[in-house]
Amino acid sequence: MSAERPATAQTLLILGASGDLVSRYLLPGLGALLASGRGAGLEVAGSARTAWDDERWRDVLRGAFASGENRGAAIEGVVRRSRYSQADATSEEDLRRLLAACTGRVLVYFALPPPATAKACEALARIGLPEDTWLVMEKPFGTDAGSARALNDLAARLVPEERVFRVDHFLALASVRNIIGLRSANRVLEPLLTAEHVQSVDVVFDERLALEGRAGFYDGAGALIDVTQSHLLQVLATLAMDPPSTLDARDLHAARERVLRATRVWADDPVRSSRRARYTAGVLEDGRRVPSYVDEDGVDAARETETFADVVLAVDTRRWAGVPFRLRTGKALSPQVTEVNVTFKAPPAAPRGLTGPVRPNRLRFGLDRSWLRLELNASGAGSPSAIDPVTLEATLPAGELPEYGEVLRAVIEGDRTLSVSAEAAVESWRIIEPVVAAWQNGELPLLDYAAGSAGPTGWPPGGLPGA
């Protein structure tokens, strides 16, 4: 017997539904959202050029939901009502057919590469959209500042900006959202996060994972575009922004935009202020042997795609002027390090008689899990005059949902606080374009590091402030 259609229907229409991002991240997040009791009235429609049918799509849904142990009558009801259509997302005829089958509020999720997203939007502009349609766009948003600006203009022809949701799932991480509260609600932290006290800031996302079969997307993007251009710049903006007046989306977006507008490559010198590398064959932390990146399936060695990117940026605001922000990311690294590390300047001279090294104080925020560590110097445990390092640690509240569950919750509830604004999407490209150009022109060597290692050595150069 078929399930009854919910009384308050909305349709999540996923374009590019057969892709890796959908099965690996989006659908498990959707399963967690449904298991939490949210998403009442949701219909799920998948579409791609892949020749699937409804039953194959439903099997994909069930498998993705089960991977997060999300089961139950409500979830199974969504699966049974779901449908799949083989279609070309850039075809006007196919898009008309897909939209005509949608019920209620329509959430069009573009799980597509940037050029295909732009072509799909052009086709939608020609045929028109149902009332109360939302556009949900995956990163990277465009391929450079110009294409991002053009896509913003195109989206504005389709729906108001309030109904455009640009996805960066790092904004949905509980650890990133916790940064706002930790900074704004603690007097012992907020006044110290300025150039007067801070020596440098590192935003690090070193992954254990190697390519893991993602050459189709990754080999055309690389670490700089896949992680730095979007995720790490959003973390930087969240840490460096002045506290917003409210947590309304408009105020949050404006605060992040001000930071990104003030951000540039350190000393305007992408050669001296960046490096790139890719992994060679090695053994990962879990004992798996992986081939060199250039020998992975689907990789074109001639592209010289980096799997490791290190960039130093300046944030020219009164709060942060002169403080280097280092954004680092890489694949197949050990140990895995995913954190924000704020290193403070050395304290004034200690009283005579204190012995032992006075190490820099550090404030560290976890990104993969939500934790806080404060590294201090203390004396008195063994001797009142002997300095020893101590670390204060706290585990912070975790998110109720995985990050893609939070993204979908925000989309379904019309909450744009987790969305990237139009201006931020353009500014993120503008910031890294000098680095992209320098790398494409061969102005920096492509270094090597063994898979399972800590990455390339010998950087940053000693002349760089905070090095």
* Active site residue ranges: 231
Judged by phi (left if over 0) then psi (alpha if -120 to 50, else beta), residue 152 lies in alpha
What is the three-class DSSP state of 211? Answer: coil
Question: How far apart are the C-alpha atoms of 344 and 350, rounded to whole Å?
Answer: 16
Question: How far apart are the C-alpha atoms of 315 and 321, rounded to whole Å?
Answer: 6
What is the three-class DSSP state of 291? Answer: coil
Question: How far apart are the C-alpha atoms of 206 and 223, rounded to whole Å?
Answer: 10
- Give, for 394, the enclosing helix (H) or strand (E): strand 387-395
Tokens of 62: 């069930």
Amino acid at 372: L
Determine phi and psi for 338, rounding to 5 degrees: -135, 100
Tokens of 98: 């897909």
Give burial (CB, 10 Å; 0-12/13-18/19+) of 180.
middle
Question: How far apart are the C-alpha atoms of 101 and 442, rounded to whole Å?
Answer: 50
Question: How far apart are the C-alpha atoms of 43 and 61, rounded to whole Å?
Answer: 12
Q: What sections of 3-139 are H helices per DSSP? A: 20-21, 27-35, 54-67, 73-81, 92-100, 114-127
Give burial (CB, 10 Å; 0-12/13-18/19+) of 286.
exposed
Q: What sections of 242-294 are H helices per DSSP? A: 249-261
